[in-house]
Structure 1
Amino acid sequence: MASSLILHKRITTTVAKAKALRKYVEPMLTKSKEDTTHSRRMVFAALQDKESIKELFGNISSKIATRPGGYTRILKLSDTRLGDNAEMCIIEPG
């Protein structure tokens, strides 16, 4: 899910999953601000996807370089999921 968020820039999911994903992705975004071999290897150990690593260290890290924190945004949607009435939201980095 973290790789999908980085590659697609925006995913629609439930609020609970988005909050859990935020806790997982924000430390990776912090590590991407410093482009060293060690930080790339640490993030690769968590993501296991070369394309998302390239995207994270290339485009996304330049957008969040000056921010002190709060790299993801959760936007709640007004509709709920049809099957179990779960609240839906959009999560996006930056």
Structure 2
Amino acid sequence: MRHRQIGRRLDMDGALRRAMFRNMATSLMLHGQVRTTVPRAKELRRFAERLITIGKRAPSQAALAALSGDDLTAAKADRVAAYRRVAAFLMNDDAVTRVMTEYADRFQSRPGGYTRIVKLSRRRPGDNAAMAVIQLVEAYEPAAATEGESASAAE
């Protein structure tokens, strides 16, 4: 019986499951979206949201510039610790940098829900599994493009 068990087994042992989610989370942070099965997407959401929250809670570079003395030392230590926690899970330095800078700034005002799961049609060859795309919520909404489009629409 699965009393109080957190997470899905997905018919894998723990090491394989962890490796798969590390790879998928890295791809999600680098590309903004990943196409996978629905149960895997739902499980990946837990890891991705946790990583972005760690990046958000770390002091930003702008906050570090405003500090001095012991406060600066403590804030730098907090930032390094958060960077290392994210780097321990993700498998690419570019993905870690994106989480700590770009995504932390982008989602600063959002209390959670950084990802969305869009269900696709079923995979026909093979097992007919339900497919989905998991994507970062604001990854495809650049501010410059929306301003340009709204200005041209107003004319």
User: Offset at 1:40?
Assistant: 0.6
Secondary structure of the 1:39 match is helix
Q: Distance in 1 between matches of 2:94 and 2:52?
A: 15
Secondary structure of the 2:36 match is strand
Q: Distance in 2 between matches of 1:74 and 1:20?
A: 11
Greater strand share, structure number: 1
| Structure with larger RCO (C-alpha < 8 A, sep 6+) | 1
Q: Percent of pairs identical after alignment?
A: 40
Q: Distance in 2 between matches of 1:81 and 1:56?
A: 31
Q: Distance in 2 between matches of 1:93 and 1:38?
A: 24
**Structure 1 portions without partners, runs of 5+:** none
Report the number of matched residues.
93
Q: Deviations over 1:44-87 (max 9, x none)?
A: 1111321101111222221111111111110111x111211111
Greater helix share, structure number: 2
Q: Deviations over 1:7-34 (max 9, x none)?
A: 0101111101001101111111100113
Point out 4+ residue stretches in structure 1 off by more than 2 angstroms: none
Of 33, 48, 52, which residue of structure 1 is paired with 2:56?
33
**Structure 2 portions without partners, runs of 5+:** 1-23, 59-78, 138-155
1:39-54, aligned counterparts within 5 Å?
Answer: 39-54=82-97
Q: Distance in 2 between matches of 1:93 and 1:15?
A: 16
Of 70, 81, 85, which residue of structure 1 is paired with 2:123?
81
Report the structure number with the largest CA radius of gyration.
2
Q: Work out whether 1:2 is the aligned partner of 2:25.
A: yes
Of 104, 109, 126, which residue of structure 2 is paired with 1:66?
109
